[in-house]
Each structure stands twice: as structure tokens, then as C-alpha cells.
Amino acid sequence: MHTGGVLKITDIGRDRYSRLRLIPWWEQGRLENASIMVAGMGALGNEVAKNLAQLGIGSLFLVDFDYVETSNLTRSVLFREEDEGQKKVDVAACRLAEINPDVRIYPFHGDVIWDIGLGVFRRMDVVIGCLDNREARLAINRACWKVSKPWVNGAIQELMGTAEVFIPPKTACYECNFTEMDYRLINLRYSCPLLKREDIITGKIPTVPTISSIIGGLQVQEALKILHGMGKGGVGYTFAGMTNNFFTSEYSRNERCMSHETYGKIVELNETSKKLTPRKLLEIDGSHNGLGIVELDREIVCGLKCKKCGRKCDIMKPLGKVTMNDGTCKSCGSLMDIKMTHTVRADDGMADMTIAEIGLPLLHIIAVRKGRSYNYYEVTGDMKRVFKKREVR
């Protein structure tokens, strides 16, 4: 290549992304500056994360609470026999770094429903869901809508799979087309007093690695289109492997859908969850005179009491983390009544507890309501604890 009398020779053979750059509309710089969350590191998550690493996505945030099992090996390209018993996110991070050391990888061992703050979602360009249950998908959908981030859902079973694209706030969302059966299946995970069942039979979804490759590839392809400004939301793509039929569906938007809550301007606070209290947050907001209310965006169980024997138990957990075992009286074996709240006022006993003690996740965004107006605050001081490269081996 000749430029102004200087001969510049580019060795495309040493450029990892040289073949990608040949695509006319391709902008590798967009990928290098992108951050993508991969929620779920099972068969589908393995394929998605592997593809993203090969493409040179700048940052990958991996979320999963599970550990590697031998049964994962037939469907998960990143796991080996010697990895059994290790955290899936840590093993995946190690293998992805081998595939492409250019990529910054942040493994987070936790539950995407309860342990990932909205500030994490806010920093993603795309969220890719590789999960096996409706409750987790619904949680991602609502989180993405609150901070206006696109997400791509994936689901597989046997030789069949679906990829769905949702781009808030204008398109249909995952919950828009929920049926009564969908809500019923989510509620099966909980007992009559809303306590989580430990022993519910969820079963294992039978899949083969081929459908993981197909749907995972389709999810990443849709994410690439979003990053290049070519994405279309409110659509689903279904592949029936037994007959090799491919279907496209356009979803109807439900204007009354409960997922369509979008946060306004978000104020970043140089505070951590271990130090920030609701009282201090109300003072920062200027509404600590009794008019302001801290909204926790989830039910927090703050106490248990047994009607039968009168035994009391202090507890401070999100409702979804309180199990039947937690709620069973250790004295008489009866189910205890639960006391819960989703708000904190300046005169409440919880006002001087830290955000961490209350049970909210790191880097969360918390709303303060005064009348009908809301202000939104991010606990930005948690950034270093969340986005930290861990030694995974």
C-alpha cells in the first residue's frame, strides 16, 4: 500500500480480524468497544461466548451460579473432564482467554435474577440470555427494559430451538405475549406462602450440541446486527431440526405489559453498598423530611413469625431467596408467617441498614419516590467489585 511516498506493507495474515474486515459493512471498532452480558453458561452460553470471543468483542460479562458436571461435556465446548466441580463462569473465562486474549472477560458467579444490579445491565450494549427457565428470562427482560438495553433470548430442546430479539422501549418484549400458563409455570417454583421450593422437580432439558450451535450462532448474529445498527426487535426465529423448517414470528406489543417500565435520568453515586443507607440516600435526594420513600424494586423479607408457637426469626433477604426450609419453624415445624416490604422511609428501622444488609445486589439502581415523581440513583462505588478480572485458575 503506497501513501505519500512511504511504502506501508500490511501483513493481513497476522491480523486476527482481517477476514471480518473484508465484509463491506463490518466495523471491527464497534465490536472492540462493545460490552455484552452472557447470562447462563450451559450448552447455549458456551456457544455464544465462544463466538463472541472469536469475533473480538471488547468485554464479556459472564453470569452463572452453577458448577461443571460430567454430563455437561457432551454439549459444552469450553468444559473438560478435569473441570468437574469448578464454577462454570471461571472455567469459561479461562478457556475464552485462550481463544482470544484481546477480550476482557469478567466472570460473575451468581444468580442473574437476584445478584446482578441494574447498573451492570446499564453498561451493556447487548444482553444475551442463554437460560433454561421463564423466571430468569422474565427478570432479564424487566431489567433490560428499565435501562433500555436490547437483549437476545435463546431456548433449546432436543432438535428444536428459538432465538428472540427485543429492543426497548419501542418493540414488543418477552412478557408481552405471556399466557396464563407461563405465569402458572413460574409460580410453581413457590409455595402458597410464597416461599421458594427446594425440592420442586424441574428436570433437565434434553438437547444435542448441534442445536446449541445453531441457536447460539443465530443469537450472536442478531447481536452483531444490533451493534451495527441493523437489529430488528419484537421478532422470534424458530428452527425445527427434525424437519429443517425455519419460522419467523413478529410479536404483538402489549401496551399494558408489566415489563414496560423505563427509568429516567440516573444519578451516579460514589458510594458502595456496604456504606450507603436508605437514610443517606434520602438525604442526598433532599427528601429525608418524611416525604421521600426508597423503592427497593423487590419484596424483602425482614422477619418470620410462627403463629403456632410464637417463635420469631430475624431475616433480611429478597423473597425469592427465602426457601421453605428458611420459613419452617425450627421449634414446632410449622410454616411461619412472613413480614416483608418493598419500601423504606426515614422513620423505618431499616433506614440505617446498608444497601448490602438489606439484600440488594452490587451496582444496583435505586428509586426514590416523592409523590408521583421518581429520582434514580446508581450505587456506582460498587464498580470495582463487579467488574474485576479474577484469577480463574
**Cell numbers placing 185:** 409455570
Cα separation, 287 vs 290, whole angstroms? 7
Task: Answer yes or no: are the C-beta atoms of 295 and 342 closer than 8 Å.
Answer: yes
Task: Answer yes or no: are the C-beta atoms of 238 and 327 closer than 8 Å.
Answer: no
Confidence (pLDDT) at 14: 84
What is the average pLDDT across 215-230?
98
Q: What is the pTM of this model?
A: 0.91
What is the average pLDDT across 225-244?
97
What is the average pLDDT across 103-109?
97
Confidence (pLDDT) at 390: 56
Q: At 341, which helix (H) or strand (E)? A: strand 337-344
In the predicted structure, residue 219 carries a pLDDT above the cut 90: yes
In the predicted structure, residue 138 carries a pLDDT above the cut 70: yes
Helix (H, G, I), strand (E, B) or coil at 186: helix
Q: Which of 93, 146, 155 is nearest to 116 (CA)?
A: 146
Question: Per-residue pLDDT tens for 64-104?
Answer: 999 999 999 999 999 999 999 999 999 999 999 999 999 99
Please give the CATH number for the structural domain made up of 2-250.
3.40.50.720
Cα separation, 342 vs 22, whole angstroms? 53
Give the percent of the chain with pLDDT over 90: 79
Pick 327 or 367 by higher pLDDT: 367
Using pLDDT thresholds of 50, 70 and 90, give the confidence band for residue 196: low
**Mean pLDDT, the chain, as a whole number?**
91
Please report which residue ranges of 126-207 form alpha helices under DSSP H.
134-146, 180-187
Confidence (pLDDT) at 2: 38
Cα separation, 362 vs 146, whole angstroms? 17
Using pLDDT thresholds of 50, 70 and 90, give the confidence band for residue 118: very high
Question: Per-residue pLDDT tens for 148-185?
Answer: 999 999 999 999 999 999 999 999 999 999 988 888 88
Confidence (pLDDT) at 82: 97
In the predicted structure, residue 10 carries a pLDDT above the cut 60: no
Using pLDDT thresholds of 50, 70 and 90, give the confidence band for residue 186: confident
Question: Per-residue pLDDT tens for 314-324?
Answer: 899 999 898 88
Task: Answer yes or no: are the C-beta atoms of 152 and 222 closer than 8 Å.
Answer: yes
Task: Answer yes or no: are the C-beta atoms of 215 and 163 closer than 8 Å.
Answer: yes
Question: Per-residue pLDDT tens for 267-311?
Answer: 999 999 999 999 999 999 997 677 899 999 999 999 999 988 999
With cell 447462563, the residue in question is 40
Would you list the domain boundaries of the chain? 2-250, 266-386
Type of residue numbered 184: R
Pick 376 or 12 by higher pLDDT: 376
Q: Which of 178, 221, 186, 202 is nearest to 52 (CA)?
A: 221
